[in-house]
């Protein structure tokens, strides 16, 4: 046992005068009575306790000495642990796995209770900060010595659906390594990547033990070329034995009707992925539910969406049609993003020149004069093309630097055009222009001479340009995870969208993306272009595999619970109250 | 003080009330419960040897051939004895006790009864020698005014014996005291009753007698004997003391009821004339 303030032990000397005061004879007050004989009768019945009365002063002194000794020891702040009493940063994990129930209490509640115990043990000079950790770190209380403030901060931490993000911890450990004079205490179930290799600066206080749980760790639902749906999923289990459960697939528009029930035998660990075909399945929102009573409910359900097909109608207006048609058809089958048409196209693919009309177009190797690209000049040699707008939707999935711009010609983009790629000399190579209300993507290269038609970027460029010109972007995918960002399909500058979360919260979206997704379940997105639904599913194996037995707590000695000084003060109060009740009140009346 | 005109006026008012209530006249001003040769019919009784022939109801004899005598309320020239507790236990209510004695003595003298006042403590001490007539009232008041507490431990039995030894004539004995006699009150009262005195007890106690409103360590001292002891009084002990006093007073009440002794309990919180008025309205000093 050590004392943080040993100087206060000198206050034990105060016991001597206290004892001296007790031994001084105090003359009691004189009370006269007219019925002395009645008093004698009353007091005669109390003779049995006369011995106790004679020892009363001694007991009283003993109690008072103990009380004052307890106060003196409390002032000296005794410690029973070798806690260094540095400032503490309490990192409380509130990721999805912390919602797992263990004996009716969630791991997060257990972590918060453990944090409260640490806060209660703070001495007056020690400070602590409260930080919640999941997708990112968030301070609920900066360094403070006020237990009340810290306890309120701990109470304010709510469970989230985010998977843990080990990267959020690194900033703290780097700071501590660089000389921060504090201790990093991570209160977590250790269900996150890198839990076994935490930096030495982070002391893990492990919350909860191994739990039996199974969850959906991956899922997808896609339309197949034959019109049916392909359903893919994967299950992970931390049950020590094989368990049997059903995976129930329901469609939102069909009420509670079960579309498919898949009996499963779930083995411990990550199970092999499984794939099923769903014939005549409707578009829309689908829910896959793992019917199993386990520790974590959040990972038992996957929310999937399949949007209604709305392909961009594309026509090919060139003599060498083969590669163009193959490119369009490659995005027609399966996903149904593009559709090859002969009449009423939304986008026309062409080479050399641009037919009259107002239909948007993608033109390769422009050769004839046009208001969209002027009059092409001599061929130019492009050694190192330069991407001007890397994040433009047309280039998002394209490696433009790797394209050989053979057959590119000297030209000037009309005023108001958006140059996406240019040569080192400034010649526009891919640019977007809009003249007389007609949008055109000009690709300044010969697709045959450059063998670009053989490149995988050729269909990618056609698909990106067609979607952009038609005012449609990539529609939401079947499954998102909390923390993901969702692109707004067909976003235009100045356009505003709205997302309605599962709990009804509405969020205005001014940019091209919404996110991060915070809740599990189906979201609705509405923009001037259209409306979509997308689902958010935990689908993270490390959050579902709740066996943390391999991870050991690494926290050093740490004072917890009420400080010994508090207990000593409490003991002193009890002794003083006992002395008052038993003796003092009797003595002075 | 007791001879102040204002105080005397209060006594005069009580006397007038007594006259109105008791309706007596001249030397037969005071009714008693005893039967005798008065003029007011009280009861019939069987004739016994020695009875006055004049009392025989000859009409009844003619009718039933049995000798029956008529009894009449005895109207007599009574002697009033006031035994005022002058022990030190009466210190706090001594003035009040003397005011009560003054009121009763004043009424007695104005009713032409004989009056005699004694102080009682460890012994009997005369305060007013036997006297009679209105003219003695101021002397009686003066003597009560000058009366002081005296003596040690009160011995009521001894005082009763002393009183009987000095005054053999039967009369009305009014004991004004707190009746907190260590030796008890039963024997003294029985002794006086045995000698055919009409007895009336006027118990005077204050809060200091009845209650214990202090707690803690104290040196308890008897006001009469000066005897002391160290005690610790807790609420339990205080309650026990109050219960003991209440029990003591209850035993006095039971004894008086059983022995047909009149009793009134009062304290300084009630004005003395209010107490006297109440006694008079209840029919006088009767049990």
CATH superfamily of B5-27+77-281: von Willebrand factor, type A domain (3.40.50.410)
Residues of B in contact with A38 (CB under 8 A): 180, 241, 244-245, 248
B235 vs A: CB within 8 A: no
**Tokens standing for residue A268:** 């411990």
Chain A CB contacts of B214 below 8 Å = 31, 589
B227 touches chain A (CB under 8 A): yes
Please give the pLDDT value at position A239.
94
DSSP A219-246: EEEEE-TTS-EEEEEEEEE--SS-EEEE
State how beta strands A521-526 and A497-500 pair: antiparallel
List, in order, residues 6 or more apart from A18 with CB less than 8 Å away.
A61, A64, A65, A68
Residue A516: asked if its preceding bond is cis (omega within 30°), the reply is yes
Distance of alpha carbon A292 from alpha carbon A288, whole angstroms:
12
Of residues A76 and A269, the one with the higher pLDDT is A269
- The 10s digit of each residue's pLDDT in B60-71 is 888 888 888 887
Closest by alpha carbon to B81, among B174, B194, B199, B213?
B174
Flag residues of chain B having pLDDT under 50.
24-29, 31, 287
The per-residue pLDDT for range A59-117, each reduced to its tens digit, is 888 888 899 889 888 888 777 666 666 889 999 999 999 999 988 899 999 999 999 99
B240 CB neighbours in chain A (<8 A) are 42, 45
pLDDT tens for each residue of A505-562: 999 999 888 989 999 999 999 988 788 899 999 999 999 999 988 888 888 777 776 7
Give, for A438, the enclosing helix (H) or strand (E). strand A438-443
Return residues 560-589 of A near B (CB < 8 Å): 585-589
For the full predicted model, state whether its pTM sits above 0.90.
Answer: no
Identify the three-state secondary structure at position B62.
Answer: helix
Q: Quote the CA–CA distance of A233 and A303 in Å, as a whole number.
A: 12
Q: Per the CB < 8 Å rule, is A42 touching B220?
A: no
Q: What is the pLDDT, as a whole number, of residue A133?
A: 92
Say how far apart CA A282 and CA A123 lie, in whole Å.
63
Mutation choice for A interface testing from B91, B153, B231 by most A CBs within 10 A: B231
Q: Mean pLDDT: which of A34-48, A60-74, A175-189, A559-573 is highest?
A: A60-74
Query: What's the order of all strands across the beta sheet hosting B228-233?
Result: A29-33, B216-222, B228-233
Instruction: State the pLDDT at residue A491.
Output: 78
Contacts of A471 (CB under 8 A, 6+ apart): A490, A492, A529
Beta carbons of B237 and A42 less than 8 Å apart: yes
Number of H helices, E strands in chain A: 11, 32
ipTM value: 0.80
Nearest to B118 by CA among B170, B78, B177: B177
Could you tell me the pLDDT band of residue A1, with boundaries at 50, 70 and 90?
A: low
CA–CA distance, A296 with A16 (Å, rounded to integer): 62
Spatial CA neighbour of A443 closest among A414, A408, A469, A467:
A408
Pair A283, A201: CB distance under 8 Å:
no
Tokens (6 digits) for A562: 């009420």
Contact A36 B227 (CB under 8 A): yes
A323-to-A344, A401, A460, A570, B14 alpha-carbon distances in Å: 21, 22, 12, 86, 140
- Measured CA to CA, the distance from residue B287 to residue B269 in angstroms comes to 24
Torsion of CA A11, A15, A16, A21, to 10 degrees: 130
Residue A385: CB partners within 8 Å, gap ≥ 6?
A: A400, A401, A403, A405, A421, A422, A423, A424, A429
B124 CA: distance to closest CA in chain A (Å): 19
Which string of b and e fits A193-211 if b means at least 16 CB within 10 Å? eebeebeebbbbbbbbebb
- Asked if B233 reaches chain A (Cβ–Cβ under 8 Å), the answer is yes
Angle of helix B235-258 relative to helix B186-194, nearest 10 degrees?
10
- Which residue reads 């100087």 in tokens? A7
What residues in A contact B89, CB-CB < 8 Å?
34-35
Q: Which residues of A touch B233 (CB under 8 A)?
A: 589
* Interface test mutation site (partner A, options B222, B235, B242, B268, max chain A beta carbons within 10 A): B222
- Across all residues in chain A, what is the average pLDDT? 87
**In chain B, where are the structural domains located?**
5-27+77-281, 31-75
Residue A418 is predicted with a pLDDT of: 92
pLDDT at A25: 62
Q: In B, which residues are within 8 Å of A36 by CB distance?
A: 182, 220-225, 227
pLDDT tens track for A221-240: 988 767 788 999 999 999 99
Structure tokens that stand for A549 in this block: 């037995």
Q: Is the CB of A35 less than 8 angstroms away from the CB of B219?
A: no
Q: What number of helices (H) and strands (E) belong to chain B? A: 9, 10
Residue keyed to tokens 């250790």: A190
In Å, how far is A156's CA from the nearest CA of chain B?
50
Looking at residue A11, its pLDDT comes to: 82
The two structure tokens encoding residue B13 = 């008012």
Mutate to test the interface with B, among A26, A27, A37, A583 (most CBs of B within 10 A): A37
Three-class DSSP category at A290: strand
- The distance of B219 to chain A (nearest Cα, Å) reads 5
Q: Which of residues B97 and A194 earns the better pLDDT score? A: B97
Q: Which residue has the tokens 């209770």?
A: A113
As a whole-number percent, the residues of chain A with pLDDT over 70 amount to 93
Helices (H), A282-424: 322-332
Q: Do the Cβ atoms of A38 and B215 come within 8 Å? A: no
Residue of A nearest to B182 (CA): A37
Q: Do B232 and A586 touch (CB under 8 A)?
A: yes
């Amino acid at each position: 046992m050590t004392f943080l303030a040993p100087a206060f032990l000198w206050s034990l000397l105060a016991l001597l005068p206290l004892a001296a005061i007790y031994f001084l004879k105090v003359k009691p007050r004189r009370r006269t009575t007219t019925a002395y004989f009645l008093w004698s009768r009353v007091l005669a019945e109390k003779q049995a306790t006369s011995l106790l009365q004679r020892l009363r002063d001694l007991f009283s002194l003993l109690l008072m000495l103990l009380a004052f000794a307890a106060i003196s020891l409390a002032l000296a702040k005794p410690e029973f642990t070798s806690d260094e009493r540095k400032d503490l940063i309490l990192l409380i994990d509130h990721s999805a796995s912390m919602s797992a129930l263990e004996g009716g209490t969630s791991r997060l509640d257990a972590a918060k209770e453990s944090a409260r115990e640490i806060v209660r043990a703070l001495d007056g000079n020690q400070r602590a900060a409260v930080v919640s950790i999941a997708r990112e770190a968030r301070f609920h209380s900066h360094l403070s010595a006020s237990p009340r403030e810290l306890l309120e901060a701990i109470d304010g931490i709510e469970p989230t659906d985010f998977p843990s993000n080990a990267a959020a911890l690194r900033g703290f450990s780097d700071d501590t390594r660089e000389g921060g004079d504090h201790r990093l205490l991570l209160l977590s179930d250790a269900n996150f990547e890198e839990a076994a290799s935490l930096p030495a600066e982070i002391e893990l206080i492990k919350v909860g033990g191994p739990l039996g749980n199974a969850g959906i760790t991956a899922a997808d639902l896609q339309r197949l070329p034959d019109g049916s749906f392909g359903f893919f999923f994967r299950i992970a289990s931390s049950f020590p034995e094989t368990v049997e459960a059903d995976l129930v697939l329901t469609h939102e528009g069909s009420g509670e009707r079960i579309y498919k029930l898949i009996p499963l035998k779930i083995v411990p660990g990550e199970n092999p992925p499984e794939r099923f075909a769903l014939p005549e399945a409707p578009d829309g929102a689908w829910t896959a539910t793992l019917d199993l009573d386990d520790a974590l409910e959040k990972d038992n359900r996957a929310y999937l969406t399949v949007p209604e097909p709305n392909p961009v109608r594309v026509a090919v207006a060139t003599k060498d049609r083969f590669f163009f048609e193959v490119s369009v058809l490659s995005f027609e089958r399966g996903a149904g993003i593009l559709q090859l048409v002969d009449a009423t196209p939304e986008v026309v693919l062409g080479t050399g020149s641009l037919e009259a009309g107002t239909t948007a177009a993608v033109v390769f190797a422009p050769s004839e004069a046009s208001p969209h690209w002027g009059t092409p000049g001599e061929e130019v040699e492009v050694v190192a093309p330069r991407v001007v707008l890397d994040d433009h939707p047309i280039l998002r999935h394209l490696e433009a630097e790797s394209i050989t711009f053979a057959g590119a010609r000297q030209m000037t983009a009309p005023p108001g055009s958006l140059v996406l790629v240019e040569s080192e000399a400034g010649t526009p190579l891919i640019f977007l222009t809009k003249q007389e209300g007609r949008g055109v993507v000009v690709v300044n290269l010969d697709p045959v001479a450059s063998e670009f038609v053989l490149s995988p970027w050729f269909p990618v460029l056609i698909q990106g340009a067609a979607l952009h010109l038609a005012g449609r972007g990539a529609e939401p995918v079947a499954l998102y995870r909390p923390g993901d960002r969702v692109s707004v399909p067909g976003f235009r500058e100045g356009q505003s969208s709205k997302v309605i979360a599962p709990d009804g919260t509405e969020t205005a979206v001014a940019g091209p993306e919404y996110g991060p997704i915070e809740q599990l379940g189906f979201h609705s997105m509405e923009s001037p272009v259209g409306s979509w639904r997308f689902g958010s599913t935990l689908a993270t194996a490390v959050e579902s595999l709740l066996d943390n037995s391999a991870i050991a707590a690494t926290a050093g000695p740490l004072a917890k619970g009420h400080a010994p000084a508090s207990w000593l003060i409490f003991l002193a109060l009890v002794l003083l109250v006992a002395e008052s009740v038993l003796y003092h009140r009797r003595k002075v009346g | 003080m007791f001879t102040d005109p204002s105080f005397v006026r209060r006594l005069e008012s009580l006397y007038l009330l007594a006259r109105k209530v008791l309706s007596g006249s001249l030397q037969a001003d005071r009714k008693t419960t005893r039967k005798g040769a008065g003029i007011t019919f009280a009861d019939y009784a069987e004739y016994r040897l020695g009875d006055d022939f004049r009392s025989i109801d000859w009409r009844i004899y003619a009718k039933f051939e049995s000798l029956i005598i008529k009894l009449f309320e005895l109207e007599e020239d009574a002697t009033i004895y006031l035994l005022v507790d002058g022990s030190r236990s009466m210190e706090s209510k001594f003035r009040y006790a003397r005011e009560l004695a003054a009121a009763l003595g004043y009424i007695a003298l104005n009713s032409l009864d004989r009056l005699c006042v004694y102080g009682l403590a460890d012994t009997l001490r005369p305060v007013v020698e036997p006297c009679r007539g209105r003219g003695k009232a101021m002397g009686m008041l003066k003597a009560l005014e000058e009366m002081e507490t005296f003596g040690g431990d009160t011995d009521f039995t001894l005082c009763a014996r002393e009183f009987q030894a000095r005054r053999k004539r039967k009369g009305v004995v009014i004991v004004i005291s707190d009746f907190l006699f260590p030796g008890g009150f039963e024997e003294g009262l029985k002794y006086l009753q045995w000698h055919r005195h009409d007895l009336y007890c006027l118990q005077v106690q204050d809060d200091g007698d009845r209650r214990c409103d202090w707690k803690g360590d104290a040196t308890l001292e008897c006001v009469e004997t000066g005897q002391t002891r160290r005690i610790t009084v807790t609420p339990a002990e205080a309650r026990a003391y109050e219960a003991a006093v209440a029990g003591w007073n209850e035993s006095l009440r039971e004894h008086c009821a059983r022995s047909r002794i009149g009793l009134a309990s009062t304290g300084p919180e009630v004005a003395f004339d209010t107490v006297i008025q109440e006694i008079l309205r209840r029919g006088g000093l009767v049990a």
